[in-house]
Amino acid sequence: MKKFLLLALLSASTLFASNIEVKDSYIRATPPGLPNSAAFMTVKNNTDKTIAVLKATSDVSKVVELHTHSMKDGVMKMYQVPKIDVPANGITELKPGGFHVMLIGLHKPLKVGEEVTYTLEFSNGETITITAPIKTVMGGMMNKNMKKGMSCGSGKCGSGMKKDMSCGSGKCGSN
Ligand SMILES: [Cu+2]
């Protein structure tokens, strides 16, 4: 009951905000030859009902899927999910090692400094198109199969902002 009242209050106070906000989005840079990337973002739900991300689309890759990661037998695996819930008056972070929008079959390498546009479709019928910068992404996201990526992800190469750049340009990740 308390929770309900709180939600009602929050809902009233955010009456003039958009129902859904997508913030701080970025796309993982890829060295040449790596066919997949991912988009990350914070999705904020300003309504008093759960809203789910149902679908993502982009023309940078052949396929776009909603993914998450989980640890199984000590190995981080990622798999497709049908939707990503964003709680009422809450946020869901899509970040390395967790939920992400998977870009599969890139038409070209994603270079730091460039941008990617993608669209999210939500369960309340809204769609939001986001243009996000391409950045080097640390850790978490790296698939165990991507050995080359791991040295990058573990921070050996890119533990500072500037050092990241060499990671993204493939100097670290492609050797
Ligand atoms: Cu994925």
Each residue's pLDDT tens digit, 118-159? 999 999 999 999 999 999 986 544 444 443 333 333 333 333
For residue 30, which phi and psi values (nearest 5 degrees)? Answer: -125, 135
Which one is predicted more confidently, 159 or 63? 63
- pLDDT over 70, % of the chain: 69
| Ligand 1 centroid from CA 9, angstroms | 37
| Ligand 1 centroid from CA 3, angstroms | 34
Each residue's pLDDT tens digit, 66-96? 999 988 888 889 999 999 999 999 999 999 9
Nearest partner of 144 among 56, 82, 80, 73, judged by Cα: 73
Q: Is residue 168 scored above 70 in pLDDT?
A: no
| Ligand 1 centroid from CA 152, angstroms | 18
CATH match of 2-137 with 2.60.40.1890: yes
Which one is predicted more confidently, 11 or 134? 134
Domain ranges of the chain: 2-137
